[in-house]
Amino acid sequence: MHAQTALPSLMNTIEELREASSGPVAIDDVAGIVTSLMTSIQGDLTSVDLRAHEELEDLVRYIHNARTEIAAIRPDSIRDEEIPTAHSELDAVIAATAEATDVFLDVAEQLETMADNIGGDDGEKLHEMTTRMYEASNFQDITGQRITKVVSTLGFIEAKVERLSRIIDGKEVADEDALSMEDLMPADERPDSDLLHGPAMPEQANNQDDIDALLASFD
């Protein structure tokens, strides 16, 4: 029967493709093999063969649709343009906040000097204001920590896009050893890094009642 004689030939074709590429068979080649199989059995179909033929047609359509959809996403553009641009924008944010913080602290120092010269109640009020300004200046550190989280996420997305491109091109096979988010994040050498997770989002942060309850538990 045609289907029986075609199968060894198709298996040989797959093996030849694998040896020629020294790796996984590309998706385009898989689609070609499936199409060849359908053509080879068209003249000798039973009811079971007909169902298999329909399933194979669906598989070919799925492969072509997947390639079309992935091409529309333009993974190469995401990797080469959008993500690097996002990195540059985040670097600009860090630079701008650092510059603003320097100005912020410089003004606070000048106000502190004025407070010393003024003295009295007004001087004391100015000292309180400058203290609040110094305390608020840690926004740069908080911003930097949050941006670091975003950069790590971008790195994770970039690696996944690169891997997707390679799989679609037949240069790599998906497996369970793919890098996780933790693998792609830069190492934190601080001795207490396991205790530090950066600033919490407002809806996730502890409120004053939570803090008071924690302090009361130590009594």
Q: In the chain, which residues have pLDDT < 70?
A: 1-53, 70-73, 75, 167-219
The pLDDT value recorded for residue 148 is: 80
Long-range contacts (CB closer than 8 Å, 24 or more residues apart) made by 194-199: 198/142, 198/145, 198/146, 198/148, 198/149, 199/142, 199/145, 199/146
What local confidence, expressed as pLDDT, does residue 217 receive? 65
How much is the pTM? 0.44
Question: Over the stretch 181-217, which tens digit does the pLDDT of each residue have?
Answer: 455 444 555 444 544 455 555 555 555 566 566 556 6
pLDDT score for 156: 83
